[in-house]
Amino acid sequence: MSESFIYLDNNATTPLLPEVVDAMSTVMVLPYGNPSSPHSIGEGTRDIIETARGQVSNLINGNPDNLIFTSGGSEANNQAILSGLGVSGLRRIVTSSVEHSSIKKLCENLEGKGISVEFLPVDSSGLINLNYLEEKLKLHKAFVSIQWVNNETGVIQPISEIAAICKKYHCLFHTDAAQALGKLEIDISSLDPDYLTITAHKINGPQGVGALYAKDIEKLTAIVVSGTEEFGKRGGTENLLGIVGFGKACEIRKRDYNECIDKMGKYRDAFEGFILTALPELKTNGSRTQRVCNTTNIQFPGVDGRAMMSQLDNNDVICSQTSACVSQIPEPSFVLMAMGLDAEDAFSSLRFSFSSLNTIDEAKDAAEKVIEVYNKVKSLFRY
């Protein structure tokens, strides 16, 4: 691949911001101390972690005492569900059919262990039906886990309404906000979820670090068991560098939020508009109105998206078909299938996701290449 590729796979992961790299590099050469050590060097490290906890909590308007660091969004999702079931004694989960695999797989595993799981359907826009959710919760209490923003389509679930329904029926509510962080305003104090998941690497922070917010920290149980780290709720010496990078990325996103949203929206809209004008036979997958600013998922009828993705890669445009963690599985996207697409249409779809580090020229150049590659692949590989 050339040096000058156009990276449009930011829902999979984002490049580190230079300021994040600087913050992490500074900590790398500080005197070495384990944050749990009782000496002064350990205390210094603890302070660094607490600063980051404050920066991350600030971006979601939450209390730092209710937030623990984890190895990422997947771990936080697993811990939220296992904690919620453990503390409440609930044997029932209500979730959606378009969740990230860290929730989908865990729920499938739990189903095999006698927990009843309801995977709520979504409509062709990718949205769950609130009346249907309410009907389900009216019948029996459950632990509810519904994502805020879908990683493949960018579709935004009506999360405040979902939280209110859960509250009305005294159900514990978790939301996976991994793709919402930094793209939507997250205000813990008004949403008031029982648990909320976030991760660093979707907002130009490092991979391998995330966080779980819990309304009542006592309603968290450790799934990595060790000492008193992270209020005793997540054992193991903290990932200091990752946490510092996460904190810095959150501080920057809070500061530059409007500018970032504005840029991502402009780039995505220019890219999508250019392609759909040139190729009116194409369609986008998922709601166009209830959608975050950086994502478009486009169906290229009659071509295999995998062939197109590989041709685009050869032309220095990087995109994806499904989420990175399931993309090695040769199956059509379960998210798109849940929205009613057949396997052929799902395979013909591609996800393009922008970050504020892209440029308008990249958006236009990439759109031109997509049009060119589509026309070429269509003539070569028509199913």
Residue 74 interacts with ligand PLP (CB under 6 A)? yes
Among 72, 84, 182, 332, binds ligand PLP (CB under 6 A): 72
Task: Kindly state whether residue 351 participates in binding ligand PLP, applying the rule CB under 6 A.
Answer: no
Give whichever of 136 and 174 is closer to ligand PLP, judged by the CB atom: 174
DSSP class per residue in 297-311: EEE-TTS-HHHHHHH
Active site residue 325: yes
Q: Give the H/E segment covering residue 360.
A: helix 360-381
**Residue ranges in 176-215 that form contacts with ligand PLP under rule CB under 6 A:** 176, 178-179, 199, 210
Judged by CB under 6 A, which of 78, 83, 323, 348 binds ligand PLP? Answer: 323
Residue 245 engages ligand PLP in binding (rule: CB under 6 A): no
* Closest CB to ligand PLP among residues 299, 322: 322
Neighbours of 98 (CB within 10 A): 30
Of 181 and 282, the one with the shorter C-beta distance to ligand PLP is 181
Q: Give the separation between CA 300 and CA 282, rounded to whole angstroms.
A: 6
C-beta of residue 56 within 8 angstroms of C-beta of residue 244: no
For ligand PLP, the closer CB: 102 or 315? 102
Binding mask 5-44 for ligand PLP (x = CB under 6 A): ----------------------------------------
Contact window for ligand PLP (CB under 6 A) among 67-75, 110-118, 287-295, 363-371: 67-75
Of 300, 303, 317, the C-alpha closest to 368 is 317
To which residue do tokens 């709720």 refer?
233
Q: Which stretch binds ligand PLP (CB under 6 A): 22-30, 51-59, 70-78, 244-252?
A: 70-78
Q: Is 147 in the site for ligand PLP (CB under 6 A)?
A: yes
CA–CA separation, 362 and 377 (whole Å): 22
Is 68 in contact with 96 (CB distance < 8 Å)? no
Shorter beta-carbon distance to ligand PLP: residue 69 or 374:
69
- Going from the C-alpha of 239 to that of each of 33, 42, 95, 243, the distances in angstroms are 12, 14, 30, 6
242-268 as b/e: b if 16+ CB within 10 A: bbbbbbbbbbbbeeeeeebbebbebbb
Nearer to ligand PLP, 77 or 96 (CB): 77
Q: Is the separation of the CB atoms in 322 and 229 below 8 Å?
A: no
Question: Near ligand PLP by CB under 6 A, which window of 48-56, 72-80, 335-343, 355-363?
Answer: 72-80
Report whether 160 contacts 140 (CB < 8 A).
no
- Count residues contacting ligand PLP (CB under 6 A)? 14
Binding mask 91-120 for ligand PLP (x = CB under 6 A): ---------x-x------------------
321 binds ligand PLP (CB under 6 A): no
Which among 294, 341, 291, 73 is positioned nearest to 195, based on CA atoms? Answer: 73
Residues 350, 308: contact at Cβ < 8 Å?
A: yes
Point out which residues bind ligand PLP (CB under 6 A). 72-74, 77, 100, 102, 147, 151, 176, 178-179, 199, 210, 323
Query: What are the catalytic residues?
Result: 325
